[in-house]
Structure 1
């Protein structure tokens, strides 16, 4: 086979120097430093009456989070950051990382959560100064100052025996973590690592992670909340808890929770007059063909449910291969219902607002690309810490996009950011007692990356 001309005469050697790989990820480490995250984690991991470690444990946790945001999948991938020692200074080895993760007790995990909340207040203060926290988008408009929290669970398959891993309802084997994401910012606020057989509609788990997520939201922004989850959350216990949270003084809490279609709901559907159906809306706010919405509240006995709860129904023609109930097969429509306590807005808008919960699937996919998809240890406690660092990695990417990037890059997925920004190489140049990281001037996104470093450097220190 004839060789192509571009490779003729090319050889590869391993004797280069002063070249930094994955130079863009240095910006993530700077972001953690300048927002106060690294210092807050160091405080959370501090141990009294103990000889200081060679590697500050807060810095070790930060570096693992940066590694995960950069695409690392195993603890041994910390060697990518160790390669950047000329810029970063000494970086912990893989054995040291293992020891640091093993040192995170339940009490320290709680301190880490508190540290994240403090740092988030500082980050959101910068967003407010720059124009405000992003608004959640629904049907071609936005929800203003409402902070939207989406809760969902996902299966993480494990391919070896790990503590508390078990068979799942999908006939796989592994864990079934549940998490909460902020739709406004993309931050991964709270999560709980659960055994694989944990139920999808476990109200206790929903309440736990939602409570932790609300404490992550800076106090001034807790006044107007929207909680969304799918049908797995339609339990009396959860809805009663959400209703109680809405009674907190100075807070308005709306919920939009999937509602199970049982016998009573199916009976109400058969009684629903044809004239009460209205066309559904698309994500852009346009009329959606083949989809309608209607309200069932007046046809159901909801006396045992929270006061003010409404049940809204959506129907659509099923797509090929859709799994339908016998009722739906006979009727020819596929039905979905949800419960809400929101009294304002059209049915179409409320249904579109609920359907926007599907964006959480993208958040989960991004998290699985950044640590959630693979747990490193046989020990459950270490895997819990790994999940906490996955949340921090997601936050760092979200903060990078909101504080340092604009245009298409501010909307890019983590994989695209790695390909375009984080994995760019650079040359380290010394001169006049200074170090300069020289990015390739021909790199298509070099101006954006240089600007991002400047914006990160300009973040004021936390008080």
Structure 2
């Protein structure tokens, strides 16, 4: 595009008191209010009074700033420009919000976890976040961790974890169905050098409890990678009535099980570079799957063993270490195995493999959060950063609910897309007859979706 005027014909001045840059915060925060964000925080948070006064308003301000794109305490200043004070009752200074976060202790973070779980349940009652799965459908709960990079030694708990990057470890549990995008059920911040499975059993229990609060029907399948293949996490899922699908390490017991699979049991599957042969009605592929009955944790006492299936996917080894025709099973193929308690009648071998591979959807949530509020962990205090993570998750779920209410085009959109098209919309505030009118840009491409969100969020309460 070309500027239509010469440089001398253009002047600027920051002096318009009736402009806002994020008019979409009006319906989004109205939705948060209807879902009880402020009320829940006031009920459950006991942050010391000198810093925690008006905890609900301060938490709402943090969430609003994150929805609008803030990824640091200083960025919260975007809530105090132009006519924002005409649209919102209180617009806190960044320093006030920073002091509020630094007042958190571990117990307060756990209180905030409770607020987040109840807030999600209230959002789910107002927006179809998880759709309407039928009784036989699965609700997938994915568990995984990610390293949030930090710099310097001032961050409490920072260290070098499995990625070799200095940071803090964020453990998340998400929920999704075949027709919906993920929402975050539970979260926990841990020190950077923490083992991936540390505290996983408690997180799984919290996540499944939060899922029950939403009232979502359907069977629950907990998916995770090999770092979470252990009795504590698996037993926590089973105790809550969920099935599991967890990648396993190729330990001696698993190797023996894989070696026992007969050659004729392997089925070719759709995989990278696969071609479908219409004449044969099968995939021509280098990847194959098979399964064998398997008992997990066989070394533990009988009551703690878990029976299920070991589903194995194998692909040819690209760099064989032995001459052709002389290799053993594990030298000519690479094997990827996972343990599942779902019966073969509910998910056949091929379907179970495809379902387990879809666990990678949680990586999109990690990337989404790091592209917004989780781009930084703003404080030197570990508890403050833990509270920041919980607020970031609430902002993520709130943006997801707003996108769902805006229509199908935004139901599965990234929060960055929702922010750019529905939240960061400039508007001029006009007043007439004691009524505020937001004048938004003419021919805004996503006007219909914005108006649908606004109308839904500002609908009158339902009749008792």
Distance in structure 1 (CA, Å) of the matches to 2:203 and 2:381: 22
**Structure 2 residue 289 is matched with structure 1 residue 293:** yes
| Counterpart residue number, 2:191 | 195
Question: What whole-Å deviation, never above 9, does each CA across 1:270-321 have from its counterpart, x for those lacking one?
Answer: 44222101133569xx87633221013269995757332211101235689x
Taking a change above 3 Å as real, the CA distance of residues 143 and 273 of structure 1, as seen in their structure-2 partners, is farther
Give the structure 2 partner of residue 172 of structure 1.
165
Q: Which residue of 2 aligns with 1:210?
A: 204
Name the residue aligned to 2:362. Answer: 360
- Structure 1 pair 455/296, CA: closer, same or farther in 2 (3 Å)? same
Q: CA deviation at 1:23?
A: 1.4
* Pair 1:40–1:80, CA change in 2 (3 A): same
**Match for residue 152 of structure 1?**
144
The residue aligned with 2:269 is: 280
Contact 2:57 2:90 in 1 (8 A): no
Alignment match, 2:237:
242
Give the Cα–Cα distance (whole angstroms) in 2 for the partners of residues 412 and 399 of structure 1. Answer: 11
* 2:140 and 2:222 in contact (8 A); partners too: yes
Over 3 Å counting, the alpha-carbon distance change for 1:96 and 1:260 in structure 2 is same
Quote the Cα distance in structure 1 between the aligned partners of 2:328 and 2:192: 31
**Equivalents in 2 of 1:363, 1:416: separation in Å?**
14
Distance in 1 between the 2:383 and 2:137 partners? Answer: 37
Paired residues for 1:41-52 under 5 Å: 41-45=41-45
Whether 2:433 is the aligned partner of 1:417: answer no
Cα separation, partners in 2 of 1:333 and 1:47, compared to 1, 3 Å: closer
Aligned match of 2:324 = none
* Residue 126 of structure 1: how far off its partner (Å): 3.3
Partner secondary structure for residue 237 of structure 2: helix
Look up the match of 2:311.
Answer: 312
Partner of 1:265: 254
CA shift in 2, pair 1:459/1:231, >3 Å: farther
* Alpha carbons 1:158, 1:174 under 8 Å: kept: yes
Q: Output the CA distance in 2 between the equivalents of 1:218 and 1:299.
A: 28
Using a 3 Å threshold, how does the CA distance of structure 1 residues 4 and 222 change in structure 2: closer, same or farther?
A: closer
Structure-2 residue corresponding to 1:139:
none
* Paired residues of 1:239 and 1:306 also in contact (CA < 8 A): no
- The Cα shift of 1:359 comes to 0.3
1:17-416 superposed matches below 5 A: 17-45=17-45, 56-83=54-81, 84-127=84-127, 133-134=130-131, 145-161=137-153, 162-184=155-177, 186-202=182-198, 205-219=199-213, 220-221=215-216, 224-246=219-241, 253-281=242-270, 289-297=285-293, 302=298, 304=300, 306-317=305-316, 331-343=331-343, 344=345, 345-402=347-404, 404-416=405-417
Distance verdict in 2 for CA 1:16–1:244, change over 3 Å = closer
How much does 1:123 deviate?
2.8
Shift, 1:225, TM fit: 1.7
Runs of 5+ unmatched residues, structure 1: 137-141, 247-252, 321-326
d(CA) in 1 for partners of 2:244, 2:265: 23
TM-score under structure 2 normalisation?
0.84
The runs of 5 or more residues in structure 2 that have no matched partner are: 277-281, 320-326
Cα pair distance change 1:176/1:115, threshold 3 Å: closer
Q: Distance in 1 between matches of 2:227 and 2:47?
A: 41
Tell me the CA shift for residue 10 of structure 1.
Answer: 2.8
Q: Shift of the alpha carbon at 1:330? A: 6.5
C-alpha separation in 1, matches of 2:50 and 2:147:
41
> How far apart are 1:5 and its partner, in Å?
6.0
Task: Go from structure 1 to structure 2 and tell me whether the alpha carbon gap of 1:52 and 1:63 turns closer, same or farther (over 3 Å shift).
Answer: closer
Q: How do 1:428-447 residues align onto structure 2 when only pairs under 5 Å count?
A: 428-447=429-448
RMSD of the alignment, in Å?
Answer: 3.1
CA 1:213–1:437 in 2, change beyond 3 Å: closer, same or farther? same
Give the superposition deviation at 1:159.
0.8
Equivalent pairs, count: 434
Pair 1:299–1:170, CA change in 2 (3 A): closer
Q: In the TM superposition, what whole-angstrom CA distance separates every residue of 1:36-69 from its partner, at most 9, and x where no partner exists?
A: 1122112223679x6898x722111111112112
The structural deviation recorded for 1:265 is 2.8
Q: TM-score with structure 1 length normalisation?
A: 0.84
Distance 1:236 1:85, change over 3 A: same
Deviation, structure 1 residue 329: 10
Kindly indicate whether the alpha-carbon contact (under 8 Å) linking 1:34 and 1:461 is maintained by their aligned counterparts in 2. no
